[in-house]
Structure 1
Amino acid sequence: MKKSERLELIKKIVLTNEIETQHDLLELLAAEGLRLTQATISRDMNEIGIIKIPSSKGPYIYGISQDSHQSVSPPPKPIKSTILSVSQHTSGLEHMLYLTVVPGNSRLIKRFLLEDFSELIFSVLADDDSLLLIAKDTAAADTVRQKVENWMTEQD
């Protein structure tokens, strides 16, 4: 199966099923005759723009970002709803921001931050549910912090 066909199959499965974990997605793909590693599925999900979103039943499930390749100003609702908090100034660390996000979404948020603020950012470190953004200086950190806070409070 070609990569483009695999990506389309993953999109179809995510859009037609409530999937809570990568393991669940791997099982559904195996049922379609496609056996992948967790690393491959993780890369494919990132490329597609699959993020965790709240389900109608309560737990977070995988969904597809409304806009995974364009600027996030303003951010699509799934992106906006995945940022849970952003740190305020911490003495001696004014050039850094710490963001908490819905688990499984930090890599996508990192990509959007780097696309929108590349000239202001020195580096971004991401794990499953948080990001540490190191800005080039305090003014750059304040600019990014203000924009992220605006994303979190914008009305639909």
Structure 2
Amino acid sequence: MKKEIRLNLISHLVSQHEIKTQEELCNILQQNGMSVTQATVSRDIRELKLVKVPAKNGHQKYDYSTSHEQSVKKKLQNRLKDALIKMEPIHYFVLIKTLPGHAHSFGSLLDALEFKGKVGTICGNDTCLVICSSPDGAEAFHKLLESYLDE
């Protein structure tokens, strides 16, 4: 579980900050209560398929390769087909019911997916709640997830 939490935190940090080095990422993780070594961060970077890309200031920063989003979409598509029980939009939310023990993997994949209007996820054992910024955003996100079932 700790690794999954760390990987989610790294994904969030990389999307919110311009992280230039593994040492910088180690320091930020430690500031967030994660005791890690540079070797662990290096393995996490490989597992998340992070690459160095040009930053706004001309330096390099860690970010996802363009193939990462396709990989996340494929994993999510497979997860939807294998473990989804039902899914429905409710006001600002999309409620996803899964087989027991699968909600966190849905949440992790959904958090990695960039979608305008998706604010975040809250997951239990068999329920994942996707929080959107508007009811229309929830409806659009629900339709996006349904389209993955049709592919």
TM-score norm. by structure 1 comes to 0.47
In terms of fraction of residues, the more helix-rich structure is 2
TM-score norm. by structure 2 comes to 0.48
